[in-house]
Amino acid sequence: MTLDAILPPERTLFDVPGGSKKRVLEFFSTFIAQNTPSLDSQEVFSRLIGRERLGSTGIGNGVAIPHARNPHCKAPISGFLKLAEPIDFDAIDGEPVDLVFVLLVPEEADDAHLALLGQVAGVMNDADTRHRLRHATSQRELHERLQEAIRQQTPGDATT
């Protein structure tokens, strides 16, 4: 399973109001539950916040990768948010975050979970990719740039 397969255009969100880490995670939880009938927004939020309590998912360079397991998740689900304004995310480098890649996986998805997290980190660790995402001017452009970066990051994965 690759990221491009689990990130449809409608889950690439442009110019999302930030405010705080809690607000962004609440926003995503409500958004994903409205679009995925098997998910409950409060449970998604609780699991994402629970993961943040273990340690911030702010990986540095203005990027966060909040992620959690969910028993009602039948397959991995992702979403990407480009925030209107950077927010404090308790990132490891202390920098505010404006690019948020959220990943929800089934309760038992150990290998898939780690592989997808690795793909996200690989894509988001690229300075040129971050620059291109930050300079996107529409939701469509943001999704296209993200998909292009994912495909460049994982060229050989399609055959495995």
Contacts of 113 (CB under 8 A, 6+ apart): 67, 69, 76, 103, 105
Give the CA dihedral 110, 157, 74, 5, nearest 10 degrees.
Answer: 140
Q: Return the H-helix or E-strand segment holding 85.
A: strand 77-87
Catalytic residues: 67
Q: What angle do CA 17, 118, 107 make, to 5 degrees?
A: 80
Using CA atoms, how far apart are residues 46 and 68, in angstroms rounded to an integer? Answer: 9
Tokens of 108: 């038992």
